[in-house]
Chains A and B, each alone.
Chain A
Amino acid sequence: MTARMACLWCPDWPVVTARQREPDLTGVAVAVLEGGFVLSASAEARAGGVRRGMRKREAEAGCPGLVTVPADPAAEGRAFEALAGAIETVAPKLALERPGLLFVPTLGPSRYHGGDAALAARLGAEVEAAGVPEVRVGVADGTFAARLAARRAVPGRAVVVPPQGSPAFLAPWPVGVLDPGVRGVPGDTANLTSLLARLGLRTLGDFAALPPASVLGRFGPAGLAAHRRARGEEEHRVATRAPAPEWDVAHEFDPPTPRVDVAVFAGRALAERLSTALAGDGLACTRVRVEAETEHGERLARCWRSGDGLSPALLAERVRGQLEAWVGGRADAGTAEDATGGLSLLRLVPEEVVLAGRSQLGLWGGDRAAAERAARALVRLQAHLGPEAVTVPVLRGGRTPEERVAWVPFGEEAPPPPVYEPWPGAVPSPAPAVVFRPPRPAEMLDAGGRPVTVSGRGQASGEPARLCCADLPGGGGAVEGWAGPWLHDLRWWDPSSRRRRALWQVEVAGGVACLVAVEGGRASLEAIYD
């Protein structure tokens, strides 16, 4: 299930920041330079032929009258932080990707503001009120589709892709959009997209139409991740539980520091510590929350994400930018600094972690060669049967033996094993060895030949005397022993998905013990203790 996201994209953020600093540059062809190359160009400069990555001379030759400004990442970060603060009033949970691009999960805010389109309009209005001239808003399932929707949007009119409409929306785009291409850094997908183009797969729809098993076999796990993106699915299975708190790293400043460079130095050390700790477990972080506390008790928090995983360098850069935005922003504000003092605590909390690269193959507590042999055989099998067919079972919380299992395709990250506390109403151990999916129809009759049912108050209508089911040896038989019922009232708060059922442990003649469920007056055989 991909979460529905709204993507806010302010194109050419370095130019926007430069114009905020010098209002005379509005309407003029401006190029922001970094290291002698064009980092970002205004719309007027682009009309004059200036492109990202050009040298300064080339840009000036192509576009006379071009004004060049040096890049100022600190100012960009500060301005973006101010924008994020404004967006927070509309939607509290946001994740920043890079200055100029942020994502907002729409589940709560859409309901509050009355729909996706209303939310997008509200966000756009908020951004304009903050002084940013141009913002494009796209709403879709999943971050990849939302980002492309924002690319297609125009200021003032958001593109809202209907729920489950992501695959249809993504189909006509060219495969080149799979490249992240952030700030000129090519990812693994650069080779993949050129290969796909040479193979004749020019659009995302063509690529998405391929079966996943073939994609995995031909292009490897990186190709499968891109394939998922092209289909509008999340490329990483997100862990259902939050990462363990022992991965949080924190640094206390004693005495509290109002200085940017001290904070940035500590922030970089923290970023390296976090990356090393996660890498030691074979994990990478895709979303991190940077938290800070000031001397006077004020708490600041900002969430940064990256679809391809926050590499150590990228994580350090994001932390640095955030700290400069906070601490530097206070220095700018002048008297505000005296009121809030300096930073006293800096903490990094990984909110979402994924497996870095291939899965860990039980390197601890197991024969390494055996694990590699097993992995080779399983990957080969996945290429034949599809990635979903070859799974590793993982236990999780639940009431019935069926609910307690999550099937994780081999090679994907598994959610961290839960600290298991028995759920109320859970069927006690021992667990049955054969679990029917779906449960087989059965008949459980009492001594008078009537089916055993359970009333609304949980009273059984009679004692089970006979169990008949085609999947039992001999078709069933007389009941020799029974225990129960265990009553489950699931999702009572949601009338559309409410389920009420009762479970019995039943032993029939012949020593066969099984688990029988009664729901809505009908009995079914859930499992056999084989």
Chain B
Amino acid sequence: MHYEHLFVYRGSVVSPALIQPARPALVEVAGRARPVVLAGERRLPVPGPLGDLLPGGGLQRGTVVSVEGAGGTGGASVVLAFLAAATAVGEWAAVIDAEESFGPLAAAEAGVALERLAVVRLRDVPERFGQVVATLLEGMTVVAVTVPRQMRAAEARRLLARAREQGSVLVAAGGWPGEVALRLRAEGSAWSGLGRGEGLLGARTLRVTVAGRGAAGRERTAEVPLRAAS
């Protein structure tokens, strides 16, 4: 960061030696100011143990992230965690719910601020699916969609370009026909607390595998504890 241009002193630029003592104080203040989105990396921090699994502790803005896993294995909880990440810093998130199966109560428990969540409820996939997603990418930070079966690679490329241009994150549940920055796979969970006719669903440990490009090239798997019953 260059501070010099802020201090034009009698027509001449202030030398770095004069502001050197102030630099640590300014860095310390920047560390205290929230939210911190480091300009170089433009990452959306994801809180909780899932965030520790991701490279950089969060999602990179302007990318597509795919979440795979058969129904019931925990993919939806991962998507909810990403939505919570966006609303936690005061930004908006949207979900395209093409089967009318979104559970907002679970979202609220995962930490999503419901007043900043928009749910597009449709009976099935709309004809201009790409246009709908593009409109949402312009307005929201995180957009979660279920990838429709007939999605083509060209459309996927267009949506990736739009996400990059707007600096938003597209979370695609299902197989994304294109390049993705992060590929997460939910491999099932182990529930505790439920007996045979007694007890209640309590804590759960979700197995998540993360694979990415570049710096996050290695595959990492971890057990993510989620949501103990209150």
Residues of A within 8 A of B (CB): 362, 365-367, 370-371, 373-378, 380-381, 384-385, 388-395, 401, 404-405, 407, 410, 428-437, 463, 471-473, 481-483, 505, 507, 510-514, 527-530
**Are B201 and A505 neighbours in the complex by a CB distance under 8 Å?**
yes
What are 9 inter-chain pairs, A to B, with CB distance below 8 A?
A378-B139, A381-B135, A385-B122, A388-B121, A392-B114, A434-B76, A434-B102, A437-B101, A482-B194
Q: Which chain B residues border A384 with CB–CB below 8 Å?
A: 128, 131-132, 135
**Are B103 and A434 neighbours in the complex by a CB distance under 8 Å?**
yes
**Are B126 and A385 neighbours in the complex by a CB distance under 8 Å?**
yes
Tell me the complex Cα distance, A333–B115, Å. 54
- Which label, helix, strand, loop or mixed, suits the secondary structure of the B interface? mixed
Not counting A370-B91, A384-B131, a sample of 5 additional A-B residue pairs whose C-beta atoms are within 8 angstroms of each other reads A390-B118, A393-B119, A429-B109, A433-B107, A530-B73
Q: Which chain A residues border B115 with CB–CB below 8 Å?
A: 362, 392
With beta carbons under 8 angstroms apart, the residue of A393, A437, A505 that contacts B114 is A393
Question: Nearest chain A CB to B181's CB is how many angstroms away?
Answer: 22
Q: Which chain B residues border A373 with CB–CB below 8 Å?
A: 92, 138-139
With beta carbons under 8 angstroms apart, the residue of A374, A380, A404 that contacts B140 is A374
**Are B197 and A483 neighbours in the complex by a CB distance under 8 Å?**
yes
Of chain A, the residue at the smallest CB distance from B137 is A377
Contact status of A381 and B140, CB under 8 A, knowing A433-B77, A505-B200: no
**Are A530 and B132 neighbours in the complex by a CB distance under 8 Å?**
no
Q: Which chain A residues border B195 with CB–CB below 8 Å?
A: 481, 483
**Are A511 and B106 neighbours in the complex by a CB distance under 8 Å?**
no
Question: Nearest chain A CB to B144's CB is how many angstroms away?
Answer: 12
**Are B132 and A385 neighbours in the complex by a CB distance under 8 Å?**
yes
Q: Is B74 an interface residue (CB 8 A)?
A: yes
Q: Which chain A residues border B126 with CB–CB below 8 Å?
A: 385
**Are A430 and B104 neighbours in the complex by a CB distance under 8 Å?**
no
**Are A514 and B118 neighbours in the complex by a CB distance under 8 Å?**
no
Q: Which chain A residues border B70 with CB–CB below 8 Å?
A: 473
**Are A390 and B120 neighbours in the complex by a CB distance under 8 Å?**
yes
With beta carbons under 8 angstroms apart, the residue of A374, A391, A432, A507 that contacts B139 is A374
**Are B90 and A391 neighbours in the complex by a CB distance under 8 Å?**
no
Question: Nearest chain B CB to A13's CB is how many angstroms away?
Answer: 44
Tell me the complex Cα distance, A486–B16, Å. 71
Q: Which chain A residues border B201 with CB–CB below 8 Å?
A: 430, 483, 505, 507, 513, 529
Please tell me which stretch of B38-46, B152-160, B184-192, B211-219 contacts chain A, meaning at least 4 of its Cβ atoms lie within 8 angstroms of it. Answer: B184-192
Q: Is B227 an interface residue (CB 8 A)?
A: yes
**Are A362 and B103 neighbours in the complex by a CB distance under 8 Å?**
no
Residues of B within 8 A of A (CB): 70-77, 80, 90-92, 94, 100-109, 114-122, 126, 128, 131-132, 135-136, 138-141, 188-191, 194-201, 204, 227, 229-230
Question: Nearest chain B CB to A407's CB is how many angstroms away?
Answer: 7
Tell me the complex Cα distance, A401–B119, Å. 16
Q: Which of B72, B91, B204 has the most CB of A within 10 A?
A: B72
Of chain B, the residue at the smallest CB distance from A392 is B118
**Are B139 and A437 neighbours in the complex by a CB distance under 8 Å?**
no
**Are A437 and B100 neighbours in the complex by a CB distance under 8 Å?**
yes
Q: Which chain B residues border A380 with CB–CB below 8 Å?
A: 135
Q: Which chain A residues border B100 with CB–CB below 8 Å?
A: 437
Q: Which chain A residues border B105 with CB–CB below 8 Å?
A: 395, 401, 404-405, 431
Question: Nearest chain B CB to A356's CB is how many angstroms away?
Answer: 18
Contact status of A433 and B103, CB under 8 A, knowing A384-B128, A481-B196: yes
Tell me the complex Cα distance, A197–B24, Å. 68
Contact status of A473 and B73, CB under 8 A, knowing A365-B90, A401-B103, A432-B103: yes
**Are A374 and B118 neighbours in the complex by a CB distance under 8 Å?**
yes
Q: Which chain B residues border A366 with CB–CB below 8 Å?
A: 90-91, 116
Tell me the complex Cα distance, A205–B147, Å. 40
Tell me the complex Cα distance, A291–B36, Å. 52
Of chain B, the residue at the smallest CB distance from A386 is B122
Of chain A, the residue at the smallest CB distance from B134 is A377
Tell me the complex Cα distance, A376–B118, Å. 12
Tell me the complex Cα distance, A431–B135, Å. 30
Q: Which chain B residues border A483 with CB–CB below 8 Å?
A: 194-195, 197-201
**Are B106 and A431 neighbours in the complex by a CB distance under 8 Å?**
yes
**Are B92 and A471 neighbours in the complex by a CB distance under 8 Å?**
no
**Are A405 and B104 neighbours in the complex by a CB distance under 8 Å?**
yes
Tell me the complex Cα distance, A431–B136, Å. 27
